[in-house]
Structure 1
Amino acid sequence: MRRLLTALLIGTAVYSQAQTKTEKLVDYVNPIIGTQRMGHTYPGATVPFGMVQLSPETDTASYEKDGHYNPDVYKYCAGYQYDDKTIVGFSHTHFSGTGHSDLGDFLIMPTVGVLKLNPGVADKPGSGYRSAFSHQNEVSGANYYKVKLDDHNITAELTTTARVGFHQYTFPKSDQSHIILDLMAGIYNYPDKNVWTYLKVVNDSTVVGFRQTNGWARTRTLYFAMSFSKPFYQHGYKKFDKREVYGGFWGKFNQTKNFPEIAGRQIRTYFDFKTEEGEKIKIKFAISPVSMDGAMNNMRTEAPGWDFDKVKNDGQQLWEKELHKIEIAGSKETKLNFYTSMYHTMINPTLYMDADGQYKGLDQNVHKADGFTNYTTFSLWDTYRALHPLFNIIEPKRNADMIQSMLAHFDQSPEHMLPVWSNSGNENWCMSGYHSVAVIADAVIKGNVNFDANKALDACVATARHRDYEGIGEYMDKGFIPDEKSGVSVSSTLEYAFDDWAIAQLAKKLNRNDIYEEFIKRSENYKNVYDASIGFMRPKLANGSFRTKFDPLSTINEGFIEGNSWNYTLFAPQDPESLIKLMGGDKRFVRYLDSLFTMNLPDKYFAETEDITRDGIIGNYVHGNEPSHHVAYLYNWTDKPWKTQERVRMILPMMYKPTPDGLGGNDDTGQMSAWYIFTSLGFYPVAPGSDQYSTGSPAVDHAVINLDNGKKFTINVKNQSAKNVYVQKMVLNGKPLDKLFISHDEIMNGGEITFYMSAKHK
């Protein structure tokens, strides 16, 4: 009987594992998460790392409102806010989770009835082509979005390939059915963002064109090809610019209807149909960074037919493959959070080249990616911390290609610098640091190299020695950036010091000792802005004295970016041991860490901290801003490592929920989600550029990381519960783990780690 029972138990375990393997993980992806408040995610359709992000716009905020800066510009970074009641249309490019607005190219809106070519306003029904909608009639999933446009009685469905947006609109019976193509709409609209637009009618079912914009990316041209499943019987346009709009015949003929081509700055076009009840009109909309011919070729290559369901299913299979790289066991809520986080980490960076490998580079010339896939949308101030380290485990080939894209950027850069924050063949120079060097160092240290590592090191060094950029000259000469030279002098000094440490690790790996010595010394510059008399990092004047007037809780004009001194004083992830010593040793350091999470931050600071909301804040710990992401793990360098376990298990449910407002801050192109994934698995890359991961407290019941090398790394969790957050012991490959770290090789070589959990700390 005992043998039979054992056999049954073994059989049940095998069956359970088999079920997990074949479980449909896309069902746990809910792109609505983060669309309310400050998550700045979008609910529309995309494939992993796709060039097209086809999603609804609930409004389009202009830069100015009543002659003043419009705060809604920040609200609509992703074009969609869950609390809104109307949809303006569906556009093809979006940032995911950023704190800056742009993109929203080529907005399409289906309508019926009297043609209206103005979107109108949300509080005046019928004032334009926008439509009311209900979340009850909205479906958002991996590579699929569906909604009913109530005012037009039209059901809209969206899906994509990598370079093609596929629309399917189910119309009512009408002799006045329209599809509007808005060439002037976009996220973050300010005067003259549209430099020029052009559209050419190829035939009665195909149009091509382009849009030139001067937005966050200052020199950007995006080309398109648009194909309808049914011929339109007439078409037209309206101009919304007082300046002359030139047509194909230079204005000599009346071309507002059935024009052959049109060009101008502010144009909306329309295409008319007669539809039967329930008739579906499908649109394939391909984009290209290179040319209209490139867009047409992208369409022919990726979406040759009209089978909407096949395109949707093919894209979902791509997601299924990616999501199965980590298979977890846990509650439904845990799986919703985990796999939506996986989804959000695999949206950016985005593909940026045509199907034939051509792309437009930083120098505005056309290049061909030779032996790699070219990517863009590098929000490196955010993503070097956890997103790219996650890729080194589950997306090593893609991450190496992303680095090749960064090196191509360097080669094309007139400044001879690696990217800081780049998109669409442009450098935005947003945020501080030169964190592409940390991404490169992390990949090389972990053996993920398909590029010339020595050439990459040379690019890192050239970037870090660029004396004319953001105070680097003063930093090199003085060991800090003077307060007089920069409004973010302290945080930039700290971030440069970390990047310098990463360069030193890369140089050490490559036996470039002269560079190692130079940059390991530079990496200690964080100590130069620490004021021991008050126990905080503090702005320093050019003469070497600390600035007199100073508030360590304020985020305004105190020398820091997206944080205050209380948070940034803990920013030396490359050297926690020395930081602890600098701050007075274990006891004082733990007390400081505790205060960050437990203090009652006065109300006056919330107007300055985290965008006038309390989103992403626990005490004075700002999880919604990335410089704090390593902080909870710093207890591992003290005599109270159990507090790391306690803190991370507190942060997880507070900052991540399977609800529209379930992200405690901007997802920042996947960094917030990458933190969740690592932390849920029980370890985190405190210092990218190191091969070590600091252990925490896993929130999953079980996990298997399916590695590209064919091996598996299994995470077992014994006695898991919401109360059992403390780790009593860890066993790695059958042997007790007597340290608070695991190495990259220990993961990539396969094996298993077992966490034994308890309600009491050791």
Structure 2
Amino acid sequence: MKIKNLLTIVLVVLAYSYSVAQDNLVQYVNPLIGTHKMGHTYPGATVPFGMVQLSPETDTIPYEADDHYNPLVYKYCAGYQYDDPTIVGFTHTHFSGTGHSDLGDFLIMPSVGKLQLNPGTEQNPKSGFRSAFSHSNEKAEANYYRVKLDDDNIVAELTATNRVGFHQYTFPQADQAHIILDLMYGIYNHAGKNIWTFVRVENDTLVTGYRQTNGWARTRTVYFAMTFSKPIKQYGMKDFSKPDVYKGFWRKFDQTKNFPDIAGEQIRMYFDFQTQEGEKVKIKFALSSVSTKGALENLQTELPHWDFEKAKHDGQQQWQKELQRIRVKASDKNDLINFYTALYHTFLGPTTYMDVTGAYRGLDQNNHQAAGFTNYTTFSLWDTYRALHPLFNVIQPKRNSDMVNSMLAHYDQSVHKMLPVWSHHANENWCMIGYHSVSVISDAIIKGNFQGDAYQALDACVATARHKSYDGLEYYIQSGYVPEDKSGSSVSKTLEYAYDDWCIAQVAKKLNKQAIYDEFTKRSQNWRNVYDASTGYMRPKLSDGKFRKEFDVLSTHGQGYIEGNAWNYSLYVPQDPEQMIALMGGKKRFVQHLDSLFTMNLPDEFFAHTEDITREGIIGNYVHGNEPAHHAAYLYNWTDQPWKTQERVRMILQKQYHATPDGLGGNDDCGQMSAWYIFTSLGFYPVAPGSDQYALGSPAIQSAVLPLENGKTFEIEAINQSKKNVYVQKVTLNDKLLTRPFLTHDEIVKGGKLVFYMSAKPKR
């Protein structure tokens, strides 16, 4: 009897442990996914939307490689590539999944033995402070990274708070143990990127300073406060922009050793210690865009202790809280890993950009105070307006509202009086096309999530759309299209401007601004002006009103498109698919065209000008590794064959997402690729942000629960869902048959239950 009772107790305990493990969502996050090939994600430590992204650097870019399109430069947009054998150090700022390089501020690297202040090479890491490493001695989790630096037998561990990076280095016994602070290093570290650096050694444990760079962001200043867990034995520096004979400040001091304040363009510093076997030397490294005082206050407020495990645990609890915004069940563990890593990637940005006091550096390079909102930066809007911000409108509405307010602050500080296009760290870099802040703002207002002055937001949208000096807008406003002989990528610009104009019209309608509604509804029809009925494609038009004679529907180079070709962009009328389909010959002909997109074989010459996509990101001529056709598979819902949407989206999920380092078929683009995965796995997708509709697809999970911020709960269940059962036989919402292939935002936020009944055969 006692044995039986004991067995019962053991079984209960085991069952309880399994349940707890199932509730631990952090275990399914693998930050190494996307770090190989073109995913351009980073594996290091950060908290949700954190200002610090503390991650290893493996780059092998020669310093003189100052061309962004140099394959080496493009390869290291996130600083880390999974197939590299060496690590050069750990830096505090990174983009996740971008197609351009910047950041990589304040590289720290531990070493022992003879001091070396050059980074060494991949072929001979021992020639510098670089070290070989093995993936067998590497571990990456949400808010935690660990690796053994083989050449010096040092274990490096990283964790973070929002604004503070926390390093822990376990040293061997060494009389000469060093911490190197490289103020020269930067991702895409072209000649002249470093403008100036300043370091002040405050005492034997505290160092402050700043760095100014001219990179993708033209003028970026980052302040820091760094503190050590044990006193420095001695310290020194080398200014690589000066000859060795230059020894002092006006030749009166020797700045190279134990001098309290140091300034220059190309500085590396070292801090020396004596360590015992297994001794841990810890570093807390805080950032600020405002001042060293702000950095120190961030450090003291967020990380007042030296307990590394506590900081790691606290950060992982933050991740657990955010990941619980969607609780899914799946039959395959890899599906859970893919899902929660995708959700993790969507919560990496935009990133916090203000001190704990609310102070931040603005676009005008003055200091500002965020009043009533969290200020964010890193707005890759050409990518993220499509699915990332719409996902936030479902599961992060308050945070998304703060992001909109950050965009409006950008507008107020802009000398151009324009909303952000691609902005980061108090800079506008004008990357890509369109004015897609308009889409993000409109979507938040239409869905009732924006907490601010909607009329003021509309005014900013209208002013941006009327800015004639911006990227072909003068011709677009005058002629109804962008002429290719006046402004390149003209077809893409015309189509994207027309969509953004439609978004403005929706907000104007909601706010009863009839004149604005009429103006922008008319402008939203401009997509018709670049449609060529003789070919059935969107085609570049010249300023004389004629289509350009030279036209290649497959080429991505010099044809009037950007990151796509005529096949992909001819489908880009998300605001009016019905009229697009009618203009292209009706539903039957359109289905044939859409089928061909996914099934055709591309010639090898297609890949001649695809610097930022790979064959892994392409299915037929559908380019999932870029964004212009991310909505394309859902367009079957506007035909008589919606079952093909179900078939295609499940195929894309299977082919483009894997639980491996090379598991992303293209740049994650600040979470857009991952947001596509989340929506599609749940069974619906926002084809036209600014609308209240989501197109239905084919859920790839068994069930999901979304605890919404308004206190309601929205549930999804997929009955009989499997890798073969991808077709939807019927859908019910709150036990009532849904007779349309769409779901509205209001139906989600009211709470309830959406049930898909799945089958291996399509419902024709």
TM class by smaller structure: over 0.9
1:486 and 1:243 map into 2 onto residues whose CA distance is 47
Residues 4-46 of structure 1 deviation map (CA, whole Å, 9 limit, x = unaligned): xxxxxxxx9xx99994896100000000000000000000000
Residue 301 (str. 1) matches residue 301 (str. 2): yes
SS at match of 1:554: coil
Query: Alpha carbons of 1:64 and 1:581: their partners in 2 closer, same or farther (altered >3 Å)?
Result: farther
Equivalent position SS for 2:251: coil
1:127 and 1:62 mapped to 2: Cα distance? 15
Separation (CA, whole Å) in 2 of partners of 1:18 and 1:72:
45
Deviation, structure 1 residue 612: 6.5
1:393-542 correspondence to structure 2 within 5 Å: 393-542=394-543
Pair 1:101–1:199, CA change in 2 (3 A): same
Query: Partner of 1:254 in structure 2?
Result: 254
Query: Is the CA contact 1:245–1:265 (under 8 Å) kept in the aligned structure 2?
Result: no
The answer (yes or no) to whether the contact 1:396–1:448 under 8 Å persists in 2 is: yes
Question: Secondary structure at the residue paired with 2:221?
Answer: strand
**Is the alpha carbon distance of 1:612 and 1:515 closer, same or farther for their aligned partners in structure 2, counting shifts above 3 Å?**
closer
- Counterpart for residue 639 of structure 1: 640
In structure 2, what is the equivalent of residue 7 of structure 1?
none
Q: How does 1:731-750 map to 2 (within 5 A)?
A: 731-750=732-751
User: Is 1:367–2:368 an aligned residue pair?
Assistant: yes
The equivalent residue for 1:4 is none
CA distance in 2 between counterparts of 1:49 and 1:273 reads 34
- Name the CA shift for 1:610/1:718 in 2 (closer, same or farther; >3 Å): farther
- The answer for the alignment partner of 1:8 in structure 2 is none
The separation in 1 between residues aligned to 2:433 and 2:533, in whole angstroms, is: 25
The aligned runs of 1:312-331 (5 Å cut-off) are 312-330=312-330, 331=332
Mapping of residues 311-350 of structure 1, within 5 Å: 311-330=311-330, 331-350=332-351
Q: Which residue of 1 aligns with 2:4?
A: none
Contact 1:433/1:492 (<8 A) preserved: yes
Question: Aligned AA for 2:193?
Answer: K
Residues in 2 aligned to 1:258 and 1:149: alpha-carbon distance in whole angstroms: 28
Q: CA deviation at 1:639?
A: 0.3
Give the C-alpha shift of residue 693 in structure 1.
Answer: 0.4
Kindly indicate whether the alpha-carbon contact (under 8 Å) linking 1:88 and 1:109 is maintained by their aligned counterparts in 2. yes
- Checking the alignment, whether the CA contact within 8 Å between 2:614 and 2:665 is kept in structure 1 is no
Partner Cα distance (1:398, 1:544) in 2: 45
Deviation at 1:191, TM superposition (A): 1.0
- The alpha-carbon deviation at position 64 of structure 1 amounts to 3.8
Paired letter, 2:715: T
Q: Distance in 2 between matches of 1:340 and 1:99?
A: 20
Partners of 2:68 and 2:74 within 8 A in 1: no
- Asked if 2 retains the 8 angstrom alpha-carbon contact of 1:61 and 1:187, the reply is no
Decide whether aligned partners of structure 1 residues 320 and 480 sit closer, same or farther in structure 2, where only a CA change above 3 A counts.
Answer: same
Tell me if the contact between 1:385 and 1:688 (Cα under 8 Å) persists in the aligned partners: yes
User: What is the aligned partner in structure 1 of residue 720 from structure 2?
Assistant: 719
**Which amino acid is 2:690 matched to?**
G
1:652 corresponds to 2:682: no
Change in 2 beyond 3 A, CA 1:291/1:248:
farther
For 2:21 and 2:408, the matched residues in 1 are separated by 37
Does the residue aligned with 1:159 lie in a helix, a strand or coil?
strand
2:269 alignment partner AA: T
Residue 219 (structure 1) shift: 0.8
- Superposed CA deviations along residues 201-235 of structure 1, whole A, max 9, x for unmatched, are 00011100000000011011000000000111100
Q: CA 1:31–1:66 in 2, change beyond 3 Å: closer, same or farther?
A: closer
Residue 616 of structure 2 is aligned to residue 608 of structure 1: no
8 A contact 2:732–2:756 mirrored in 1: yes
How many residue pairs match? The answer is 749
Letter in 1 for 2:456: K
> In structure 2, the residue corresponding to 1:108 is in which secondary structure?
strand
2: CA distance, partners of 1:290 / 1:450: 26
Mapped partners of 2:149, 2:21: distance in 1? 38
1:199 aligns with 2:204: no
**Is the 8 Å Cα contact of residues 684 and 694 (structure 1) preserved in structure 2?**
yes
Q: Shift of the alpha carbon at 1:254?
A: 1.6
| Alpha-carbon shift at residue 61 of structure 1 (Å) | 2.5
Does 2:54 align with 1:54? yes
Letter in 1 for 2:473: I
TM-score, normalised to structure 1, is 0.96
Q: CA deviation at 1:62?
A: 4.6
Distance in structure 2 (CA, Å) of the matches to 1:733 and 1:324: 23
Partner of 1:235: 235
Aligned AA (2:218): R
Q: Which amino acid aligns with 1:341?
A: A
In structure 1, how many angstroms separate the alpha carbons of the residues matched to 2:472 and 2:63?
A: 30
Residues 143, 315 of structure 1: 8 Å contact kept = yes
Tell whether the 8 Å contact from 1:635 to 1:644 is kept in structure 2 after alignment.
yes
1:487 Cα deviation after fit: 1.6
Deviation at 1:255, TM superposition (A): 2.1
Could you say if the C-alpha distance between residues 487 and 245 of structure 1 is closer, same or farther in structure 2, counting changes exceeding 3 Å?
farther
Judge conservation of contact 1:247–1:262 (CA < 8 Å) in 2: no
1:56-71 matches, within 5 Å, as 56-59=56-59, 61-62=61-62, 64-65=64-65, 70-71=70-71
Distance 1:33 1:67 in 2: 27
Are 2:562 and 1:545 equivalent residues in the alignment? no
Q: After alignment, is 91-100 or 239-248 more displaced?
A: 239-248
TM-score, length-scaled by structure 2:
0.96
**Aligned equivalents of 1:349 and 1:573: distance in 2?**
24
1:172-194 per-residue CA deviation (whole Å, 9 max, x = no partner) reads 00001000000000100111100
Shift of 1:67: 9.6
* Residues 212 and 219, structure 1, Cα contact 8 Å, conserved in 2: yes
Report the Cα distance in structure 2 between the residues aligned to 1:722 and 1:26, rounded to whole angstroms. Answer: 25
> CA–CA distance in 2 between the matches of 1:35 and 1:585?
43
Q: Indicate whether 1:271 and 2:271 are aligned.
A: yes
Cα offset for 1:63? 6.6
Residue 248 of structure 1 deviates from its aligned partner by 8.3
TM-superposed CA distance for 1:59, in Å, is: 1.3
**2:127 partner SS:** coil
2-structure distance, mates of 1:417, 1:676: 31
Q: Secondary structure at the match of 1:177?
A: strand
Unaligned ranges ≥5, structure 1? 1-11
What is the letter of the counterpart of residue 171 of structure 2?
F
- Between the aligned partners of 1:244 and 1:475, the Cα distance in structure 2 is 57
Alignment check: 8 A CA contact 1:77 1:102 kept: yes
What is the percentage of aligned positions where both structures have the same residue?
70
Contact residue 446 and residue 691 of structure 2 kept, 8 A: yes
Decide whether aligned partners of structure 1 residues 612 and 372 sit closer, same or farther in structure 2, where only a CA change above 3 A counts: closer
The verdict on how the C-alpha distance between 1:634 and 1:280 changes in structure 2, with shifts beyond 3 A counting, is same
Which residue is equivalent to 1:730?
731
CA shift for structure 1 position 609: 3.0
Tell me the secondary structure at the aligned position of residue 202 of structure 2. Answer: strand
Q: SS of 2:170's equivalent?
A: strand
**1:164-243 to 2 correspondences below 5 Å:** 164-242=164-242
- Kindly indicate whether residue 575 of structure 2 is the aligned counterpart of residue 580 of structure 1: no
Tell me the alpha carbon deviations over residues 526-553 of structure 1, each in whole angstroms, 9 at most, x when there is no partner. Answer: 1100111011111100010000011010
Counterpart residue number, 2:9: none
Query: SS of the counterpart of 1:126?
Result: helix
Question: Is the alpha carbon distance of 1:288 and 1:60 closer, same or farther for their aligned partners in structure 2, counting shifts above 3 Å?
Answer: farther
CA distance in 1, matches of 2:337, 2:66: 42
CA contact (8 A) 1:328 1:701 kept: yes
Deviations 1:664-715 (A, max 9, x none): 0000000000000000000000000000100000000110011111111000
Report the secondary structure of 2:471's partner residue. Answer: coil
Conservation of the 8 A alpha-carbon contact between 2:60 and 2:122: no
In the other structure, the counterpart of 1:126 is 126
- The separation in 1 between residues aligned to 2:16 and 2:730, in whole angstroms, is 26
Secondary structure of the residue that 1:179 maps to in structure 2? strand
- TM superposition shift of 1:242: 3.7
Q: Following the alignment from structure 2 to structure 1, what is the Cα–Cα distance between the partners of residues 39 and 100?
A: 12
Contact 1:610/1:624, CA 8 A, preserved across alignment: no
Cα distance in 2 for partners of 1:495, 1:202 equals 52
1:247/1:261 contact within 8 Å kept: no
Contact 2:686 2:694 in 1 (8 A): yes
User: CA separation in 2, counterparts of 1:22 and 1:724?
Assistant: 25
- CA deviations on 1:253-288 (whole Å, 9 max, x unpaired) are 222111111100000000000000000000000000
Residue in 2 aligned with 1:3? none
